[in-house]
Structure 1
């Protein structure tokens, strides 16, 4: 794992989780899956690998295994605050803990700190595709090649990522030539506005949806998408993922 910088944390603000219930649920899964946690003393190369032993919602505390190096434990406790990072289901989790103290735990000692109020849940979204809602489909408007006066084709998306989108074209209105570049496409993201970019067709697949409905899926890659438009896509993915996680956790 890479070291965490202050600039990283600011850039990743869009991936911040602030819901206490969601944070506790994530911490429990990290503990239950016995994921290793790296503790980093800010501003130094000093770090240790530990594990999350216990989450106590009533006392608002996290309990970590201590370092095997007694001197390193003293440095961690003296730092006042520690940066932590781990992985959960291929997702990078970053958080800070403050007011660390040493406590008696089972037959030895452990490190304890308050549950953080926020954390960063960061995924490599250039590879991560998230399905778009069926009830309120995200649509892409595509100009008709060779006919400037024709209305744009409006087609729903199957999913999207920071690398591209998958278009559902059940009437086969689009040319599905692999490598074809479609200029001036507009992806309408509810609440976030329009993303304008060229798209290149990368694959074309016949598929069967629910209830045995046939459809045609076109996988497209963004071409020269601007950073501003990419940021919109990132924020929209974060929103969809949070809604998805909330449904799984029974929060909505």
Structure 2
């Protein structure tokens, strides 16, 4: 089956939600296995079986549960490509895999296949905001003054579409609705950094019980390069995995 013929047609190559880094793909698949989440293996336009990820090897190779019907299992084994779909904590996952081969797991029949080379990971909300925990290593600097000097700002959350920061109240830095700040740099821990522009979309004023006032500024990224989108996707994936590990 070609994934392009499937009703859950895979998104285009330019979607920012593709994960192609092998370690990140393995982490997603191992989370499916650990949480024993149900996955679907599609072998026709409207034909699928319910399966699960039994094990993920060091290279990302998969062991998957077989279905109850022998003829359907044979049909899956005859496909050059199978579409795996799943939902992990409200996030839709899709990955083309295959071909499948016969295997065993704990003495029972199973499917085996090589690691998928790409996995599409899409939040139910188009741009899910990931709150940044204390001690995170995501940094944002804005240019301030003449000549401009990079100054760090406090970040509240991050998404593929933008971020939320705290207005530091520097003279000359006007963060009001519609303002565009050029030359902003985002450093994503050890993953790398990129420079973009930020467009202010909303400003929210908060007053604490002690009377302290702060302004939360929601910003949208300007047009990002493919590399920047990939770095953001990897960073958000890692933040979610770290959060899940702490809460589990």
How far is the alpha carbon of 1:39 from its aligned partner? 2.2
TM-score (norm 1): 0.68
Contact map agreement 2:185 2:193 (CA 8 A) in 1: yes
1:16: which partner in 2? 25
Alpha-carbon contact 1:16-1:121 (below 8 Å) kept: no
Give how far 1:140 is off: 1.7
- Spell out the pairing of 1:1-252 with structure 2 (5 A cutoff): 2-4=8-10, 12-14=19-21, 15-18=24-27, 22-26=31-35, 28=36, 30-31=37-38, 37-41=39-43, 45-52=44-51, 62-66=64-68, 72=72, 74-79=74-79, 82-94=82-94, 96=97, 98-99=100-101, 112-114=109-111, 120=119, 122-124=121-123, 127-144=127-144, 147-149=145-147, 151-169=149-167, 171-173=168-170, 174-207=173-206, 215-249=214-248
Distance in 2, matches of 1:155 and 1:222, equals 16
Q: Secondary structure of the residue that 1:183 maps to in structure 2?
A: strand
Higher Rg of the two aligned structures: 1
Bigger shift: 238-247 or 209-218?
209-218
Structure 1 residues 203, 49: closer, same or farther in 2, change over 3 A? same
**Distance in structure 1 (CA, Å) of the matches to 2:244 and 2:134:** 17
Q: Please give the TM-score of this superposition, normalised by the length of structure 2.
A: 0.68
| Structure 2 unaligned blocks of 5 or more | 1-6, 57-61
The 1-side partners of 2:66 and 2:209 are apart by 45
- Please, which runs of 5 or more residues in structure 1 have no aligned partner? 32-36, 102-110
- CA RMSD in angstroms comes to 4.0
Task: Give the Cα–Cα distance (whole angstroms) in 2 for the partners of residues 53 and 194 of structure 1.
Answer: 36
Once the two structures are superposed, residues 51-88 of structure 1 have per-residue CA deviations (whole angstroms, 9 ceiling, x without a partner) of: 3489699xx96545446xx8655422444874321223
Paired position in structure 1 for 2:59: none
Classify the secondary structure of the residue corresponding to 2:163.
strand
In the alignment, the residues of structure 2 paired with residue 54 and residue 13 of structure 1 have an alpha-carbon distance, to the nearest angstrom, of: 19
- 1:198, CA displacement in angstroms? 0.9
CA contact (8 A) 1:91 1:121 kept: no
| Superposed CA offset, 1:112-171 (max 9, x none) | 525778574712485111122321453321122xx42253332021111111111122x4
CA distance in 2, matches of 1:82, 1:160: 33
In the TM superposition, residue 16 of structure 1 has moved relative to its aligned partner by 0.3
Contact 1:206 1:215 in 2 (8 A): yes
How many residues end up aligned between the 2 structures?
A: 222
